[in-house]
Structure 1
């Protein structure tokens, strides 16, 4: 009798053996978020029936199977294939520039078997694998290793930026900085790497207390930009090894001035009008309430209308009447705020925080640097997308085409997130066995 009772347990242990150390909570939470996201997408489509919610669930199911499959494959094998992965990543981004489909002023999709595939989404995974393979051998504690990683990242980043896809290129930057920090880069160096972008913003956008100083016809200086460049000169002097003749300070100051001027040039001659509107209108959306500021204004109204508990699922008036454009994709969080209120938003954010905490725990307990860096790359990607997406719905960040992981509708993004999850689960699955005494 005892033998018969133990057989089912032994059978289950046999089938689950390939996933003996998988973090099941981490696997189940994104699946739950995906199911919930499908419900919210359905809510946005009740008055104009569509099948996006069904596709959302279907792709999530396929992604879950892929994640389970990847979790049982040793992640160390990715090291041997990282240059091939890098080549495929760049090749796909080049193909989309010549044979891709255009929408909203950008050329980002390739038609495959009747489906639109967005290579820039999968390129995130390619970059995480490539950077992890580089940094696990040579940490970022030396400048030459950082420059090598920067050169490798610059190629796909540039190809994505030229599509143009400014939002995804920012995700690349977040992944790059997060992985460098985890690979022991000096925090001052990371600040210096970001500083030219800050200079470009300070030089390009008119600020109330920063009237530009015009020296030549095409050369202007912002007082705030000059102050920032001076501060970065001090950081460079303190952190860079080139202290002879103060080269670190002079170089940091000069690069920030150059970055500011390039920012002005890009603002006037490179960026499309819709990109400039997205970057600037969040500071004053009422300036163009029926144009560039419309999305943000409607999103804030919808979230505010939800108050504490919300109107109830499928009952939000702005969601049901389609007042918020693109609500099933980039602005799905506004539907949560209107129909489930402040409490619903907190629950969603808590679940995401729990997902991030589990990934961080896996990064800390990985058996080698490669696995740890893979997990941190995925964590950086998710955190950045979460902050920017939620921030833009409430007016704390510019409106960018960055989806909310596992919730926004987008088949390429959904598969990318589950592939990333499967890689992280592989890192967890092939950790050193835990021994209990």
Structure 2
């Protein structure tokens, strides 16, 4: 017979049991970051009649409950529905191109019940689930598997790029690279995958002491680009399986040469002016201090003004006087730097490092490849967004319009991050369970 004193303990375990293996540190850290993010958004809008900070907390609360619900649902069910997920992802991206609303030269949002929803944010989850399902069945140890993963990714990536949403398309690339690496892809292949992008930058950027070599009237080659293409030819010769007649080396060299020329063509005829400004202004923001370089200059001034300990909450002059545009979204880290200084920035980065380490731990301890790949996909997404967002606020990366996870204002981005967190928590929750005796 059970003693009465044991009943409350049994009831407590009954309610906690669905989440008994959840990584609570991994859950609580993003919640804390979201709370702090709302405070920083309030600081940027303290003298404005807006309530973005309140919406930030509300959506974060909804996202946290969604994450907890997903955490108690078996993630293996996603395997059965991954093609449906992939189809819905592409359908939503097509729908926003047909019936979406435009803002700032891009058509990325669709109105649902009075709220603007950004399908490209949720598409990140769709591609993580789809790639995890594919690589779970067949690892990326062969060229065929890698090409299959790239072909599957190409459709939603192309739809996102056409919106145009260059920032999210870059996040897609980071997710694919991270998941392919975890799925045993040859590192040399991954280098070759990103090499055309590097070639495009080297061919289209006027680097010092590197005058282009003109072969034809419309065909120019950068000496740095030629050296890069040659180096990639060596990588292709060493890593690709087509060694007969040096096809791997020749193919890698040709791929980079074509990538370089396509980069020049895209720069001159495809990219919008604001996209070109974002990509180039970080090299020399003083070239256009009142235009494209204004965001970056003001952000660096704000962070530098914070010095070691900062001005204090609600006391940063750059933040309170609204000198940094879009500070509550893409440049929220500059508010942290000004009001909490170098120490505050280190604390925020330390918390993000803890989140990433917990994500990596879940990936390493997952009971199967599918769960491990899901965790790595989310880790790749968070790490890339963190590096680019912080990098662009201090002038080390182009202003790409990528939000800081859980801190920047953005309802679709917030829900995406918490849904991703819930999926990883499900992977943690359904690992090998410990035995509990009542």
Q: Distance in 2 between matches of 1:298 and 1:242?
A: 51
For the residue of structure 2 that corresponds to 1:107, the secondary structure is: strand
Aligned equivalent of 1:367: 367
Match of 1:10 in 2: 10
Counterpart position of 2:52: 52
Partners of 2:202 and 2:434 in 1: CA distance: 51
Report deviation, 1:9.
1.8
| 2:293 aligned partner | 293
Q: How far did 1:435 drift?
A: 6.9
The CA deviation at 1:7 is: 2.3
Counterpart of 2:432 in structure 1 is 432
Matched, 1:237 2:232: no
Per-residue CA deviation, residues 149-182 of structure 1 (Å, 9 max, x unaligned), is: 0000000000000000000000000000000000
With normalisation by structure 2, the TM-score equals 0.98
Where do 1:17-416 residues align within 5 Å?
17-416=17-416
Output the CA distance in 1 between the equivalents of 2:339 and 2:264. Answer: 42
For 1:102, what is the secondary structure of its paired residue? strand
1:218 and 1:131 map into 2 onto residues whose CA distance is: 40
| Alpha-carbon displacement from aligned partner over 1:85-128 (angstroms, at most 9, x marks no partner) | 00000010011111111111111000011100000000000000
Greater CA drift, 34-43 or 202-211:
202-211
> What do the CA deviations read for 1:12-69 (whole angstroms, capped 9, x no partner)?
1100111110001111110000000000000000111211000000000000000000
Distance 1:381 1:123 in 2: 12
Provide the C-alpha distance between the structure 2 equivalents of 1:434 and 1:4, rounded to a whole number of angstroms: 26
Unaligned runs of 5+ in 2: none
Distance 1:83 1:287 in 2: 48
Which residue number in structure 2 is paired with residue 417 of structure 1? Answer: 417
> Any idea what SS the aligned residue of 2:37 has?
helix
How far residue 210 of structure 1 moved from its aligned partner, in angstroms, is 1.6
Residues 195-216 of structure 1 show CA distances to partners (whole Å, capped at 9, x for unaligned) of 0000001111111122111111
d(CA) in 1 for partners of 2:229, 2:298: 37
CA deviations 1:389-429 (Å, max 9, x no partner) are 00000000000110000000000000000000000000000
CA distance in 2, matches of 1:127, 1:174: 12
Q: How far 1:270 sits from its partner (Å)?
A: 0.2
User: Where in structure 1 do 4 or more consecutive aligned residues deviate above 4 Å?
Assistant: none
Provide the C-alpha distance between the structure 2 equivalents of 1:261 and 1:291, rounded to a whole number of angstroms.
29
Displacement, 1:3?
2.8
Question: In the TM superposition, what is the alpha-carbon distance from 1:365 to its structure 2 partner?
Answer: 0.3
TM-score normalised by the chain length of structure 1: 0.99
Distance, in Å, in 2 between the alignment partners of 1:49 and 1:118 is 25
Q: CA RMSD in A?
A: 1.1
For 1:245 and 1:303, the matched residues in 2 are separated by 55
Change (3 A) 1:212 1:435: farther
Unaligned runs of 5+ in 1: none
Alpha-carbon separation, structure 2, partners of 1:46 and 1:319? 9
Provide the C-alpha distance between the structure 1 equivalents of 2:177 and 2:49, rounded to a whole number of angstroms: 42
SS in structure 2 of the partner of residue 50 of structure 1: coil
CA distance in 2, matches of 1:28, 1:13: 20
Report the Cα distance in structure 1 between the residues aligned to 2:180 and 2:435, rounded to whole angstroms. Answer: 32
Shift of 1:434: 4.2
Counterpart Cα distance in 2 of 1:31 and 1:209: 49
Instruction: Give a deviation string over 1:183-238, Cα, whole Å, max 9, x none.
Output: 00000000000000000011111111221111112111000000000000000000
